[in-house]
Amino acid sequence: MPLSHSGAFLAFRYRDFSLLSLNQLCLCLAVLIQEVVISYSLYQLTQNPLSLGLVALAELIPFICLSLLGGHWADRFNRQKILQWGFSCSAAIPLLFIALFHAYQQQAIPQGALLLGIYSLMFCLGILRGIYSPSFNSLRPFLVPEHAYANASAWTAMIWQIGAIAGPLCAGLLFSQFGLASALYFVFALCCAGSIALYALSAREFPRASAQRMAESLKEALLFALRHRLMFWAILLDLATALFCGIAVLLPVFAEDILHQGAEGLGILRAAPAAGSCLMMLCLTLVSPMQHAWRNMLMASLGIACCTLAFALSPFFWLSAALLAAVGALDSISMVIRQTLFQQLPPKALLGRVAALNGILVTSGNQFGALHASFMARYFTAVPATLIGGGICLLIGCASLMRTRDLLKAPDSHDRYALPTTEKQSR
């Protein structure tokens, strides 16, 4: 139905969705501010891009190992309580970072102990995220009625992008003007505000999955995702893009050594993809990317590869920022397509496990992409590493186009895209 001015904010008429959105904004700001200031401080300390990739790996390993368990728990137990406890525990992480860096500055611990402490805290953060992320991602459909779900999804995507823009900018400003400790205290305050919002949610019960063994439970979610052709190919292409064009981890190197812009420049570079994504999200509220979905995914992937290649060769700061904004805008197209499929197709009793699977794919792709980029930069320097990654992504996109030409001609219907991946297409 058409939206009036008040209808545009339909989802916010429901108290619990507003509270979860507040938590979402606090979470996004806290994660990005902490990530930017820790990565920048670590690079200043080591001057080694590989150390940035190891931070990503330290968080990725427990996240992957525990996300499926977290999704299983979300479908078997009360996902709201899991989210409340898991998120609240994460508020201690920034305080522990402050204590760790303070001990190093006072020469109470050597540099090796500082690095070990940083990686250990990121490992703990990965554990907590693996436990509560599936509950967070599968809670939203229970907070608003069916007719408000599309509006809630649009606002959820918009809030992520607003946080992704504001987070790096705040990080660069806080770090340059007030220092590392003040930035991390601000992260702690955001975690506290987000925890208060979660505990203010109304108590509720959820439909629970059947009491089956965990392996069978997770297999059910995996087979569900693989059974849909568009979902399968969208996941595959999105992983390739994240793995070979994930250059966010190298932005401290570009900001410091290539573009010579410092912490504030890093904040702008980190915010640029989110700014582009936010503008694209506004366009996607008018024109759905699900029309000719696979064509749109391919165009977005090829565009990201080309922009990544251009970014590697750019000598100008604002041109680099504009190219990153274009990467964010193109990435938002594939993100909306993938999230729409993962949120609308599964039954509600399967949402937690499917959300866990989606979270693992997205996070592992981004984190392995960060590790790949940092490893390549360690041995080839940042510019050649970025060129190699963009070139590989371009080749994969072209290969995908050749293998899936039938999807480009297929009618835009979920029934068509739901065919098993093993089924042969006849023309």
pLDDT at residue 155 is higher than 90: no
Asked if residue 2 is part of any domain, the answer here is no
Find tokens 């297929």 and name the residue: 410
Determine contact, residues 23/194, Cβ cutoff 8 Å: yes
pLDDT at residue 350 is higher than 80: no
Asked if residue 261 is part of any domain, the answer here is yes
How far is 33 from 21, CA to CA, in rounded Å?
18
Asked if residue 423 is part of any domain, the answer here is no
**Using CB atoms within 10 A of its CB, is residue 307 exposed (0-12), middle (13-18) or buried (19+)?**
buried
How far is 230 from 334, CA to CA, in rounded Å?
12
Query: Residue 278 sits in which domain range?
Result: 13-417
Find tokens 């997770």 and name the residue: 218
Domain total in the chain: 1
Q: Which residues of 376-407 are buried (b: 16+ CB within 10 A; e: fewer)?
A: bbbeeebbebbbbbbebbbebbeebbeebeeb
Type of residue found at 362: V
Task: Express each pLDDT in 35-59 by its tens digit.
Answer: 889 988 888 888 777 777 778 778 8
Q: Please give the model's pTM, rounded to 2 decimal places.
A: 0.67
Q: Return the CATH number at 165.
A: 1.20.1250.20
Higher pLDDT, 297 or 157: 297
Confidence at residue 74, expressed as pLDDT on a 0 to 100 scale:
77
Of the listed ranges 51-65, 67-81, 97-111, 332-346, the least confidently predicted one is: 332-346
Asked if residue 6 is part of any domain, the answer here is no
Asked if residue 7 is part of any domain, the answer here is no
Asked if residue 263 is part of any domain, the answer here is yes
Determine the average pLDDT of the residues in 137-146. Answer: 78
Asked if residue 422 is part of any domain, the answer here is no
Task: Express each pLDDT in 252-285 by its tens digit.
Answer: 888 888 888 877 788 788 888 878 887 887 777 6
Residue among 137, 333, 326, 338 at smallest CA distance from 236: 338
Residue among 67, 71, 125 at smallest CA distance from 96: 125
How far is 183 from 163, CA to CA, in rounded Å?
16
* CB-based contacts of 320, cutoff 8 Å, min separation 6: 254, 259, 269, 311, 314
Tell me the pLDDT of the chain averaged across its residues.
80
Asked if residue 108 is part of any domain, the answer here is yes
